[in-house]
Amino acid sequence: MALAYWVVGIAHVGLGEVERAREAYACAQRIRDDLADPCLQTPALWLAGMLHVIRGEYAESIEACTRARHRRPAEPGAGDGSSGALLSPR
């Protein structure tokens, strides 16, 4: 469910509907916090970073996206776990 809210939030960002994106993010964040699952924390923090950059809050955006990058789960089969499944450059 949290990922669904994340996708809805991304769609609202793309449409320029920042307030609706913020509402979707809040729902995703509540689920993320309740479950403490890194797979949910990563996209929710990334969406937060997008919302911050839209509002011109660049330092907060970088902080949220950096936190997302550090919380990303290891990619299956990566061996050492240093590569992330989400937000990793390809």
Residue 42 belongs to domain with CATH number: 1.25.40.10
- Judge whether 8 lies within some domain: yes
Check residue 20 and give its pLDDT. Answer: 93
Domain total for the chain?
A: 1
- Two tokens, residue 62: 């970088």
CA atoms within 13 A on the CB side of 33: 6
Q: How far is CA 34 from the centre of its chain?
A: 16
Please, where are the H alpha helices in the chain?
2-14, 18-35, 38-54, 58-71
- 83 assigned to some structural domain: no
Q: Which domain holds residue 42?
A: 2-71
pTM of the predicted protein model: 0.60
CB neighbour class for 22 (10 Å; exposed up to 12, middle 13-18, buried from 19) = middle
Is 26 within a domain? Answer: yes
Residue 63 placed within a domain: yes
State how far the Cα of 81 lies from the Cα of 78, in Å rounded to an integer. Answer: 5
Q: Is 67 inside any structural domain?
A: yes
Domain presence at residue 36: yes
In a domain, 20, yes or no: yes
φ, ψ (nearest 5 deg) of residue 2: -60, -40
pLDDT tens digits for the chain (90 residues)? 878 888 898 899 889 898 998 898 889 888 888 887 777 778 878 888 988 898 899 999 999 999 988 877 666 544 444 444 444 444
